[in-house]
Amino acid sequence: MSGGPWWRDGVFYQIYPRSFATSMHASSTHGGVGDLRGVTARLDHLVWLGVDALWLSPFYRSPMRDFGYDVADHCDVDPRFGTLADFDALVAAAHARGLRVIVDWVPAHVSSDHPWFREARTGRASARRDWFVWADPGPGGAPPNNWRSTFTDGPAWTLDEATGQLYLHSFLPEQPDLAWANPQVRRAMHDVLRFWMARGVDGFRADVVHNVGKDPALTDVPADVAGLPYFMVNDQAVTHEYLREVRRVLDEFPGDRMMVGEVFLLDPERMAAYHGHGDELHLCFNFAAVFAPWSAARWRACIDRTAAVLGARDAWPTWVLSNHDLPRHRTRYGSEARARAAAVLLLTLRGTPFLYMGEELGLADAPIPPDRAVDPGGRDGCRAPLPWHGEAGHGWGPPTWLPFPPDAATRNVAELKRDATSILHLYRRLLAARRAAPSLRRGTFEWLPAPESVLAFRRSHEEDARLVLVNFGDDRVRVELPSPGVVEIASDGVGEGAVFEQFLGASQAVVLRQPTPAARR
Ligand code: GLC
């Protein structure tokens, strides 16, 4: 499996710790929220599935107003999730199974409960005052500019009454933005990276990392984007300098430590710039894919644009369909058949795939009754707890913090594991096929002619080759290929092991194994 660095070759699996698994399933007081011991106890499921690396969303001390993305202590585990010893045990258990571990790093803002902010707001002369971004109120208490926050639909500025100034927050008022222009702040956040690398993590997922740099002149954003949250518009040259510093910190440690960035800019070219010249982020999430509807033309355009903008920088793509912030793709695309076909695409495109826990079960978002809604951003549906089995509690100590996804009595790990035709087994077969095929992991990519509703491409590496066909249409369609090969994987399992018969079913996708030149002779 040698070839490229591990983060190019492998498949990541995102764990949202509140909802993955609990070690306290027998307890009705604590078993409704996941914990780190719960993750450790379920690692064998991930090994069975066949992923290579885990990304853990935040488990740090937090008042949980943004469910952990409001960090009050970057270097400790929130007691709801366990202890540092539990974390160490998790990393050791993952490494013993050959799984890498990356953790979330939230560099752009902290919780208003963080000691840094508490100290900053004690007075204008506080030693930590300039760890945050402050401005004097304008006439009538007006904010200094038109920047908007996320989740509140208001200005990104809130008055700190005691000191008479406004502070900047790209998200909730309880998430003040750090002032990265201050070298002390940068050093403190570098030390957070060192703390976790010393504990053995293989890398980081960097939260809204493009939002660390701020325009020191606090200039208004242009009118045409003034309705968007500021963090979706903010793109400062200085941030690239900051990221080069961050990269040097990662490089202080041996063992190929990496960082994948959440660069939430809608223009792919701007996103691509955050790879620098091989000296900034190793990977960036490709959000264009998440926003592509179920359409062959739109996906084709997204794939071409991704290849063009990243190719120009020699950067490596990522592919993602779902995460903890957006409706699940099973919900967006509307059927399990499409979700299965999308899984084939995700795991055969050129680039590193990121799975979101539960997509291997074909989970849809949970419907959330108004009295159970808890997230200020309305994202509860995709964060519902994973059902581990069909019996009461589904592996959790009721009541869970959110309701279960639909059909948990049948759509759960134990049940789908028993059924070889399930989507869970499809993911497992895809992951195994990918692991075994250098062409799928790092081969070249080339489009093949196909009917309008179909994407057809060839991946090849030396003598190893695969063809991938994905039917986005709702009708059976004929796809003629000069040398079709054998169906290695079908999204619905139909025809696997047989020669491809030149037809794709509605919303069906297949991976075809090509005979190697040696076998052809
Ligand atoms: C990122 C996280 C999201 C969080 C936000 C603010 O977008 O993915 O969950 O709410 O940052 O930290």
Does residue 94 sit in the same domain as residue 140? no
The pLDDT tens digits of the residues spanning 42-82 come to 999 999 999 999 999 999 999 999 999 999 999 999 999 99
CATH number at residue 148: 3.90.400.10
Mutating to test ligand 1, I would choose from 112, 208, 354 the residue with most ligand atoms within 8 A of its C-beta, which is 208
Last residue of a domain, one of 432, 460, 485: 432
Nearest atom within ligand 1 for CA of residue 264: 7
Question: Which atom in ligand 1 lies closest to the alpha carbon of residue 171?
Answer: 6
Looking at 44, 191, 252, 463, which residue is catalytic? 252
Q: Is 359 in the pocket of ligand 1 (CB under 6 A)?
A: no
Domain match, 152 and 73 both: no
Alpha-carbon distance of 280 to 240, in angstroms, equals 7
Q: Are residues 276 and 379 in the same domain?
A: yes
Closest by CA to 64, choosing from 27, 24, 3, 16, is 16
Number of neighbouring beta carbons within 10 Å of residue 96: 9
- Average pLDDT of every residue of the chain: 96
User: Is there a domain that residue 175 lies in?
Assistant: no
Same structural domain for residues 87 and 120? no
Antiparallel, parallel or unpaired: β 318-320 and 352-356:
parallel
Separation of alpha carbons 417 and 401, rounded Å: 25
Q: Does 439 fall in a domain?
A: no
Q: Is residue 177 part of a domain?
A: no
**Ligand 1 center–CA 57 separation, angstroms:** 10
Q: Is 171 in the pocket of ligand 1 (CB under 6 A)?
A: yes
Residue nearest to atom 4 of ligand 1 (CA): 69
User: How confident is the model at residue 519, as a pLDDT?
Assistant: 56
pLDDT band, residue 233 (cuts 50/70/90): very high
Question: Measured from the CB, is residue 66 less than 6 Å from ligand 1?
Answer: yes
Q: Domain check: are 356 and 452 in the same one?
A: no
**Has residue 1 been placed in a domain?**
no
Q: Which residues contact 495 (CB under 8 A, 6 or more apart)?
A: 487, 501, 510
Ligand 1 binding pocket includes 325 (Cβ within 6 Å): yes
User: Residues 55, 34: one domain?
Assistant: yes
**Is 207 among the catalytic positions?**
yes
Please indicate, yes or no, if residue 173 is contained in any of the structural domains: no
Judge if the beta carbon of residue 208 lies within 6 A of ligand 1: yes
* CA dihedral (395, 396, 402, 407) positive or negative: positive
Residue ending a domain, among 394, 409, 432, is 432
* 329 pLDDT above the threshold of 50: yes
Q: Is residue 392 part of a domain?
A: yes
Give the global pTM. Answer: 0.97
**8 Å CB contact between 235 and 210:** yes
Ligand 1 atom 9: residue of nearest CA: 325
In this structure, are 164 and 199 located in the same domain? no
Q: Evaluate: CB of 415 within 6 angstroms of ligand 1.
A: no
One-letter amino acid identity for 95? Answer: H
**290 Cα to the center of ligand 1, angstroms:** 16
pLDDT band at 1 (very low <50, low <70, confident <90, very high): very low
Does residue 479 share a domain with residue 392?
no
Does one domain contain both 119 and 217? Answer: no
User: Is residue 438, in this structure, part of any structural domain at all?
Assistant: no
The one-letter amino acid at 6: W
User: CATH no. for residue 510?
Assistant: 2.60.40.1180
Do 141 and 247 reside in the same domain of the chain? no
Please report the atom of ligand 1 found closest to the CA of residue 70: 12
Give start and end residues of each alpha helix (H) in 312-418. Answer: 329-333, 336-346, 413-418
Give the model confidence (pLDDT) of 248-306 as tens digits.
999 999 999 999 999 999 789 999 999 999 999 999 999 999 999 999 999 999 999 99
> Cα separation of 205 and 259, whole Å?
6
User: Which helix (DSSP H) or strand (DSSP E) does residue 414 occupy?
Assistant: helix 413-418
Pull the structure tokens for residue 152. Answer: 């509140």
pLDDT digits (tens, 9 = 90+) for 170-219: 999 999 999 999 999 999 999 999 999 999 999 999 999 999 999 999 99
CA–centroid distance, 16 to ligand 1, in Å, is 12
* pLDDT for the residue numbered 266: 79
Contact 423, 355 (CB under 8 A): no
Helix, strand, coil fractions of the chain, as percent rounded to 5: 35, 15, 50
The preferred substitution site among 14, 168, 171, 209 for testing ligand 1, maximizing ligand atoms within 8 Å of CB, is: 171
Residues 86-95 have a mean pLDDT of 98
The string of pLDDT tens digits covering residues 360-409 is: 999 999 999 999 999 999 999 999 999 999 999 999 998 999 999 999 99
Q: What is the DSSP letter of 93?
A: H
Q: Among residues 157, 152, 175, 154, which one has the least CA distance to residue 167?
A: 157
Q: Tell me how far the alpha carbon of residue 207 lies from the centroid of ligand 1, in angstroms.
A: 6
pLDDT of the residue at 29: 83
Q: Which two tokens stand for residue 493?
A: 């399992």
Q: At residue 521, does pLDDT exceed 50?
A: no
CA of 70 to the centre of ligand 1 (A): 9
**Ligand 1 centre distance from Cα of residue 51 (Å):** 24
| Overall average pLDDT of the 349-356 stretch | 98
Domain that holds residue 150: 115-168
Asked if residue 483 belongs to a domain, the reply is yes
How far, in Å, is the centroid of ligand 1 from the Cα of 17?
15
Is residue 285 within 6 Å of ligand 1 at its C-beta?
A: no
The number of distinct structural domains making up the chain is: 3
pLDDT exceeds 60 at position 230: yes
Residues 260, 282 within the same domain: yes
| Catalytic residue (one of 66, 70, 86, 207) | 207
Among candidate residues 378, 406, 432, the one where a domain is terminated = 432
Q: Are residues 259 and 380 in the same domain?
A: yes
Examine the residue annotation and report whether 501 is marked as an active-site residue of this protein: no
Q: Provide the pLDDT confidence category of residue 25 given band limits of 50, 70 and 90.
A: confident
Looking at 26-149, which runs of residues are DSSP E strands? 53-56, 60-61, 73-77, 100-105, 134-135
CATH of the domain at 205: 3.20.20.80
Ligand 1 atom nearest residue 66's Cα:
10
